[in-house]
Amino acid sequence: MCLSGVVLSLFMMILRARGLLLMSSKGVRRSGAIPLRSQAIEEEIDPGRIAGLEIVKYPHPALRAQNEEISDPKSAAPLAKRMLQLMYEANGVGLAAPQVGINLRLMVFNPEGKKERWLDEVVLVNPKIVEKSDGVDRDIEGCLSFPDMNGTVERHKWIKVEALSPKGKTIKKKYTGWTARIFQHEFDHLDGTVYIDRLNQEDRATVQPKLNALVNAFSHDGLEPAL
């Protein structure tokens, strides 16, 4: 084999090794959210209280409560801005209002997960899915409300959604792949569904000890845990 061939082979081996490292990393990028992606993966953190908000953890009842539609989309803009601040500090890619203890149908996300890429920010008021693919993908997801846990979740490959912007304008979008997965994860939160509800039996058994620990440690001024 010529020298250039040797160099190329070594380069490919390094790339493959790096890919394996990323896929086996504990740092699953989270959204309220979120799924594993083999690029720019950072480990999620709990930043505490940011912009007057903090991420509630399972089994906080806000994660299972009914979420009300927002009658005045413009009123959601300040909250959405604060949610984005908190999301970035937590190294997340998405966040839904119930995850900060506010039961409204509001979500924010940025598929890039970087505040420097603010043009990629998405704020959706009263979103709904109007069409979805028959085909599905399976990938690893984590959630900021479920620290240090992840598991394989099945999602539709693409979805068509309708929502309102904080200015009250109608939004119609088709999301695919990574962005579709982020949306579906956050949309689940608006329906009181959390990612562990979608785990298979094996993955659920794996995270159950950590879930039990969260339940045992739960204490919020007399609030009853919502499993």
Q: What is the average pLDDT across 133-156?
A: 97
Nearest to 58 by CA among 198, 200, 196: 196
Better-predicted residue by pLDDT, 43 or 24: 43
> Does residue 20 surpass a pLDDT of 80?
no
Who has greater pLDDT, 221 or 69?
A: 69
- Please write the tens of the pLDDT for every residue from 43-63: 788 999 999 999 999 999 999
Amino acid type, 126: N
Residue 54 known to be catalytic: no
pLDDT over threshold 70, residue 33: no
Instruction: For residue 39, name the pLDDT band (cuts at 50, 70, 90).
Output: very low
Encode pLDDT of 92-136 as tens digits: 999 999 999 999 999 999 999 999 999 999 999 999 999 999 999
Q: Which of the four pLDDT bands, split at 50, 70 and 90, describes residue 15?
A: very low
**What distance in Å separates the CA atoms of residue 123 and residue 84, rounded to the nearest whole number?**
9
Please give the C-alpha separations between residue 191 and each of 38, 122, 162, in angstroms, as whole numbers: 29, 19, 16
23 pLDDT above the threshold of 80: no
- Kindly report which listed range (44-53, 154-163, 175-184, 216-225) carries the lowest average pLDDT score: 216-225
Output the pLDDT for position 1. Answer: 45
Share of the chain above pLDDT 70, in %: 81
Q: Which of 44, 121, 131, 186 is the catalytic position?
A: 186
pLDDT confidence bin for 31, thresholds 50/70/90: low
Q: Across the chain, what does the average pLDDT equal?
A: 87
Q: What is the pTM of this model?
A: 0.84
pLDDT at 78: 98
